[in-house]
Amino acid sequence: MDLGIRGQACLIVGGARGIGYATAQALAAEGVKLALADIDGAAASNSATRLAEASGTQVVGLPVDITNLDQVRNLVTQAEAAIGPLSILINSAAVLDDKLFVDSQPSDWKRMIDVCLFGPMNVIHTVLPGMMQRRYGRIVCLASDSARMGQARLSYYAAAKGGVVALTKSIAQEVGTTGVTLNILSPGATNTELRQAREVKMRAEMGEEKYARREKTVLRMYPVGRIGEPEDIASAVTFLVSKRASWITGQVLSVNGGFAMP
Ligand SMILES: NC(=O)c1ccc[n+]([C@@H]2O[C@H](COP(=O)([O-])OP(=O)(O)OC[C@H]3O[C@@H](n4cnc5c(N)ncnc54)[C@H](O)[C@@H]3O)[C@@H](O)[C@H]2O)c1
């Protein structure tokens, strides 16, 4: 199927690694020009260079802290100067904090909401007017099944992601007639550095035996029998940002091996 996105320009926030980078790889294979933005600017540059060499597509890496609106505005100016007016935006940046709510502090909640909710707000608010003016755009925000199901030890992460779902649906209603669609991709457990870091911490805290039992329990919760790989998510995002998905907006798509069927 021709996705109709060859030559389009896409900004991926949190694009240096993980799901963001896997999505960049999938879009590069479709001939999309890419700006990979990340708080780890060196990693964004390295990933961009690697992908440009592997795919022959134009890819730039740019530094940004999405909690800072001035930096986001500067990022979008730089990205558009490099690859042209943006048709596609993917919000993949996030942090994780594995803690019981009673053990957490207001500073933990603030950091989480700043990155995982204000971050996407800053980016969408900056990119959307241009898309509306050009009467075309595709925006996908990464949320999480923890927002749909609730998840112990991830309460304020889940709360921020629930906010992203509500934000994205609401903006989709506001701009529906302008040719801009916004959707939410809600992954289940996916094998990235974000998840791996949490697993390493859990393993150390639980000990080998308890952790091995937990791993088995987790796998039983996934009818497909495995957790996800970044490429599993990237394929679905690629379809949602394609021209073919013009009648899909304000939707939450769980890509999760059947973990949750809400
Ligand atoms: N991996 C999973 O199991 C999983 C499950 C559900 C949802 N998700 C969501 O999918 C998305 C991608 O997750 P991932 O596993 O690829 O994570 P990841 O940690 O591998 O990648 C996230 C990237 O965001 C960047 N980032 C963090 N804070 C930033 C900031 N303030 N400004 C700019 N960049 C910043 C990080 O440097 C990192 O490169 C996230 O939104 C995450 O919440 C992941």
User: 193-220: per-residue pLDDT in tens?
Assistant: 999 999 999 999 999 999 999 999 999 9
User: 168-195: per-residue pLDDT in tens?
Assistant: 999 999 999 999 999 999 999 999 999 9
The predicted structure's pLDDT at residue 222 = 96
Q: Are residues 178 and 196 in the same domain?
A: no
Q: Are residues 158 and 208 in the same domain?
A: no
Q: Are residues 135 and 99 in the same domain?
A: yes
Q: Which residues are catalytic?
A: 157
Residue 17 CA to ligand 1 centre (angstroms): 8
**Model-level pTM?**
0.98
Task: Tell me, using a 6 A CB cutoff, whether residue 142 lines ligand 1.
Answer: yes
Q: Are residues 96 and 146 in the same domain?
A: yes
Residue 214 CA to ligand 1 centre (angstroms): 23
The predicted structure's pLDDT at residue 192 = 96
Task: Tell me, using a 6 A CB cutoff, whether residue 89 lines ligand 1.
Answer: no
Give every residue of the chain whose pLDDT is below 50, as ranges: none
Asked if the structure places residue 262 within a domain, the reply is: no
Asked if the structure places residue 1 within a domain, the reply is: no
Asked if the structure places residue 260 within a domain, the reply is: no
Asked if the structure places residue 144 within a domain, the reply is: yes
Task: Tell me, using a 6 A CB cutoff, whether residue 14 lines ligand 1.
Answer: yes
Domain around 221:
192-227
Domain containing 161 — which CATH number? 3.40.50.720
The closest residue, in CA terms, to atom 10 on ligand 1 is 142
Q: Are residues 72 and 20 in the same domain?
A: yes
The 3-class SS string of the chain reads CCCCCCCCEEEEECCCCHHHHHHHHHHHHCCCEEEEEECCHHHHHHHHHHHHHHHCCCEEEEECCCCCHHHHHHHHHHHHHHHCCCCEEEECCCCCCCCCHHHCCHHHHHHHHHHHHHHHHHHHHHHHHHHHHHCCEEEEEECCHHHHHCCCCCHHHHHHHHHHHHHHHHHHHHHHHHCEEEEEEEECCECCHHHHHHHHHHHHHHCHHHHHHHHHHHHHCCCCCCCECHHHHHHHHHHHCCHHHCCCCCCEEEECCCCCCC
Q: Are residues 196 and 218 in the same domain?
A: yes
Q: Are residues 202 and 116 in the same domain?
A: no
Asked if the structure places residue 130 within a domain, the reply is: yes
Q: Are residues 99 and 173 in the same domain?
A: yes
Q: Are residues 206 and 80 in the same domain?
A: no
Residue 13 CA to ligand 1 centre (angstroms): 9
The closest residue, in CA terms, to atom 31 on ligand 1 is 65
Task: Tell me, using a 6 A CB cutoff, whether residue 232 lines ligand 1.
Answer: no
Q: Are residues 55 and 27 in the same domain?
A: yes
Q: Are residues 66 and 81 in the same domain?
A: yes
Q: Are residues 120 and 101 in the same domain?
A: yes
The predicted structure's pLDDT at residue 241 = 98
Task: Tell me, using a 6 A CB cutoff, whether residue 35 lines ligand 1.
Answer: no
Asked if the structure places residue 3 within a domain, the reply is: no
Asked if the structure places residue 4 within a domain, the reply is: no
Asked if the structure places residue 84 within a domain, the reply is: yes
Per the structure, the count of domains in the chain is 2
